């Protein structure tokens, strides 16, 4: 229940911020163009807070936080007094109406830059993309890539950390091939570029990460047998395990690596196992009864809520991405551009069928993402906001009549024909656009429920 409330709260905060930014873009430009704004609302439905400003606009927060709107004076909606007609949206020049509509998505892109800029100013620890384990007969191993190499670029896109690697790999969903440039620590200064055959690549985002689906994992320092963390109210805590304990044996089997402990726990859901640990230079015997959980394929495995201490990272593998205001802004613009490029690529592949509809995510998945990134801290949450803000901006630019892009399409036609699109054509367009949006939302919600 606490996780649900946390995710829901994070989701409402994130969406509230992004909707406010989007609608403020419309609002700000409308006011600059002399259009009277009657209402600025965050959310739909019944109002839970309302205030009328000195500017005459009613500011409103409503119960359903899945969007918002700016209500402008418009003769097509209400009767407008003669003296105010010049301030109605429909009477403004075409370029002003276009600017007002485009301002919402543009505000989302600007916000993404600001969010990334703040994140780079605060600073975040990054990891060099050094490849760790590689599965035999995987796509990566078949390309001749070995563990220990550092990934420098994917299809020409520089990959300075694992986030960049993930984004570059995801952009290749549905492609037949992908080039990988890497360097070997034994051949310093020599970069090798090879082509991966993706014709047999099967990536299911519900089960695997992009890297796992290609058959490799990032390098991580080796796990020790020392306990780093014991979750509250977990099976490990109930057994008496303490942070700092060193595992010696499980059910009489002498442990040599942490994975042996994991396998013993997973193989014994709700069954007691005997542990011997070294505590204060003395051996102590404990009884651990792992809890049980069901994984994706329906199999029941045990889990205990305990994690190990890692060995130290080699020098140079971890670095801080923290910059001054100017460099941080340059990095923020670059990162936002990469997110826009990735989002456009994936949107195109979604409509061409290269990306399956089951990859669509709805509000439940977004809520989980908001909650998870908020737990990781402000920098991660800012990165999440930037990603969703870009997606919100691009979605609103799609040429569907119920979206900003649809209005811009009508304005473009008006600019060519020198006359507004007829009300009947617009009405038909709104119905078709609404049906398409509702269908996509239904698919996204279905996918969300299937992932629960």
Active site residues: 23
CA dihedral 370, 60, 397, 426 (to 10 degrees): 140
Token pair for 142: 């078949």
Q: Is 18 exposed, middle or buried (0-12, 13-18, 19+ CB in 10 A)?
A: buried
The residues, ordered by sequence, that sit 6+ positions from 330 with a Cβ below 8 Å of its Cβ are none
Pairing of strands 223-230, 191-197: unpaired
């Amino acid at each position: 229940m606490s996780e649900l409330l946390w995710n829901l709260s994070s989701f409402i905060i994130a969406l509230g911020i992004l909707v406010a930014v989007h609608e403020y873009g419309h609002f700000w430009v409308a006011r600059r163009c002399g259009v009277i704004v009657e209402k600025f609302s965050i959310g739909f439905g019944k109002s839970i807070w309302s205030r009328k400003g000195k500017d005459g606009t009613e500011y409103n927060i409503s119960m359903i936080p899945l969007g918002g709107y700016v209500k402008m004076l418009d003769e097509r909606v209400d009767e407008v007094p003669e003296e105010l007609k010049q301030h109605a949206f429909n009477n403004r020049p075409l370029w002003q109406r276009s600017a007002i509509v485009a301002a919402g998505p543009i505000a989302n892109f600007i916000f993404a830059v600001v969010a990334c800029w703040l994140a780079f100013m605060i600073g975040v620890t990054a990891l060099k993309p050094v490849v760790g384990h590689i599965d035999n007969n995987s796509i990566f191993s078949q390309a001749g890539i070995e563990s220990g190499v550092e990934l420098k670029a994917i299809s020409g896109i520089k990959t300075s950390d694992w986030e960049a690697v993930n984004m570059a790999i995801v952009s290749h969903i549905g492609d037949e091939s992908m080039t990988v440039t890497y360097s070997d620590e034994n051949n310093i200064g020599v970069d090798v570029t090879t082509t991966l055959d993706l014709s047999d690549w099967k990536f299911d985002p519900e089960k695997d990460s992009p890297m796992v689906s290609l058959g490799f994992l990032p390098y991580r320092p080796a796990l020790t047998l020392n306990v780093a963390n014991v979750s509250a109210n977990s099976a490990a805590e109930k057994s008496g395990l303490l942070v700092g304990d060193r595992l010696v044996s499980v059910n009489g089997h002498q442990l040599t690596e942490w994975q042996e402990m994991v396998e013993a726990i997973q193989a014994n859901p709700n069954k007691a196992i005997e542990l011997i640990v070294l505590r204060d230079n003395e051996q102590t015997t404990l009884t651990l009864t792992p809890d049980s959980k069901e994984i994706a394929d329906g199999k029941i495995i045990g889990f205990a809520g305990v994690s190990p201490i890692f060995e130290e990272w080699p020098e140079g593998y971890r670095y801080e991405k923290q910059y001054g205001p100017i460099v941080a802004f340059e990095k923020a613009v670059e990162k936002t551009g990469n997110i826009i490029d990735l989002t456009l690529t994936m949107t195109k592949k979604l409509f061409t069928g290269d990306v399956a509809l089951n990859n669509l995510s709805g509000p439940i998945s977004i809520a989980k993402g908001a909650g998870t990134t908020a737990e990781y801290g402000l920098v991660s949450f800012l990165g999440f906001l930037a990603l969703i803000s870009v997606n919100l901006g691009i979605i609103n630019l799609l040429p569907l009549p119920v979206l900003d892009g649809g209005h811009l399409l009508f304005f473009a036609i008006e600019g060519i024909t020198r006359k507004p699109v007829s009300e009947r054509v617009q009405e038909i367009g709104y119905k078709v656009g609404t049906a398409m949006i509702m269908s996509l939302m239904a698919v996204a919600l279905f996918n969300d429920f299937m992932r629960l």
